[in-house]
A = this chain, B = another copy of it.
Amino acid sequence: MPYQRTNALNYANENKERFLDKLKEVVAIPSVSTAEEHVPDIQKTAQWLKEELLALGLDNVKIYPTARHPLVYGDWLRAGPRAPTVLIYGHYDVQPETPLDKWDTIPFTPTIKGDNIYGRGTTDMKGQIVATLAAVEAILQAGDLPLNVKFIIEGEEEIGGPNLEDFIASHTDLLACDFALNPDTGMLAPDTPTITYALRGLAYFELRVYGPQQDLHSGLFGGVVHNPAQVLADLVAGMHDARGRVTLPGFYDAVIPLDEEERAELARLPLTEEFYLHESGSPALWGEEGYTPAERTGARPTLEVNGLYSGYIEKGSKTVLPAYAMAKISTRLVPEQDPQEVGQQLRAYLAENAPPTVTWELEQLSGSVASLSDRQSPWIQAYIEAAQSAWGTRPLFKREGGSVPVVVHFQELLGVDSVNIGFGLPSDNMHGPNEKLHLPTFYKGIEALIHFFYEVKSET
């Protein structure tokens, strides 16, 4: 191993505490992108990142404002035009911290317990951002970077905001690269490095059902007025059949059937029923008949209720017949499904099934298509080597249930594949209460990234 790489690894090993302090600093800023009151925190986080990139010695560091939340850019292009260029993606925004009462720690007060650090954004994905910054810092302390690096870190990932796509489309020169690195997709278990070669798309909706002109007394009107909460329940219930299939007309038409080779590959993943039972804490699993858990989460489209609201939901009782009921509904999509078409399918379902006793509105809040990466690309081969060096084991290949629209944008607008990896674990409670990051995996991740940057260089 060349001495530079060794020096970089040693530097990373000696600076673990400092990297952890950096992570604590940025987790403490509540950069919730969906909430207006957190706009100053969003700006504070962008400023924090700008200062970190400057401290690394990067060039062209700049905060780019958008119509909503700003992006942070910085690059180091001194490896020259013959060296490959990696575009490192990140998002500094986080999910809302609700429900607060389910947290054992304070969401924006990073708290170490055992091997983990708890706090909103630790795993999704401030920990991943800090890991890439740490790897670049370690290499730069040991000499030059063996490749060109560009960072683009956005603030609207958790709200599916449109501004990243617009920014990429209007800055294709600035962002030009050979491949992207997206450390937002996690690992299947500690010491099980994982490459995610497929991501599901997302179409997110809010369905609003209106009945009477205003809330009514349930005794006086119960029995003659159709309750919008009941209608909403009927509509939501009808969106799946008894075999766990989504009933929206045409929902499966574009879905590519899984072939036997890929089913065999997915069968090698440790995503067993026992795994999902343990990770979720559910009493029993559920899903589309005829598919394994790994297939149902990675390779089949699904429909989820993300929120329900109607009437009186505080403590105690109120005998109200609500005027209004609302559901947040999202579908996870696989390649060839179009989020706008799925919106039309949902609209068609509602037009056919909503009774004339109510009116309804459907708003599409976001949409992104699914993506598939080439498992044979040199970048993915480089990560296989890097993971082997860091963990001593070849990574698993996974189709991921989540959605990373940026992978699609990079493919469509920049013409590049992404290496989708990351150091979050399934038990990290991403998006839920008690979000955490496993620190030994975080430190191993920094090591893997250092190897990766050297491997990319040595292969091209």
Contact = CB atoms under 8 A, between A and B. Distances in A.
A433 B214 contact: yes
A197 to B, nearest CB: 16
- The number of times this chain is found in the oligomer is 2
Contacts of A432: 214-217, 320, 323
A419 B215 CA distance: 28
Contacts of A359: 283
Q: Which of A219, A285, A356 has the most CB of B within 10 A?
A: A219
Contact of A400 (B95, B204, B219, B328): B219
Interface stretch (A125-133, A299-307, A340-348): A299-307
9 contacts: A96-B314, A202-B319, A217-B402, A219-B402, A219-B403, A220-B402, A233-B233, A305-B310, A306-B318
Contacts of A434: 214
A297 interface: yes
A431 interface: yes
A99 B313 contact: no
A212 B284 CA distance: 9
A34 B304 CA distance: 33
Interface of A: 34-35, 95-96, 98-99, 102, 158-160, 200, 202, 204, 206, 211-227, 229-230, 232-234, 236-240, 276, 279-288, 293, 296-297, 300, 302-323, 325-328, 330, 332, 355-359, 365-366, 400-403, 426, 429-434
Contact of A226 (B160, B217, B284, B400): B284
A163 to B, nearest CB: 15
A234 B95 CA distance: 28
B355 A286 contact: yes
A305 B308 CA distance: 13
A201 B232 CA distance: 26
A282 B356 CA distance: 10
Interface centre among A222, A240, A403 (most CB of B within 10 A): A222
Contact of A319 (B240, B330, B426): B330
A251 to B, nearest CB: 13
The residue among A221, A309, A432 with the most chain B CB atoms within 10 A of its own CB is A221
Contacts of A325: 308
A286 B225 contact: yes
Contacts of A282: 211-213, 225-226, 357-358
Contacts of A355: 284, 286
Nearest to A124: B217
A312 B317 contact: no
A108 to B, nearest CB: 17
Nearest to A303: B222
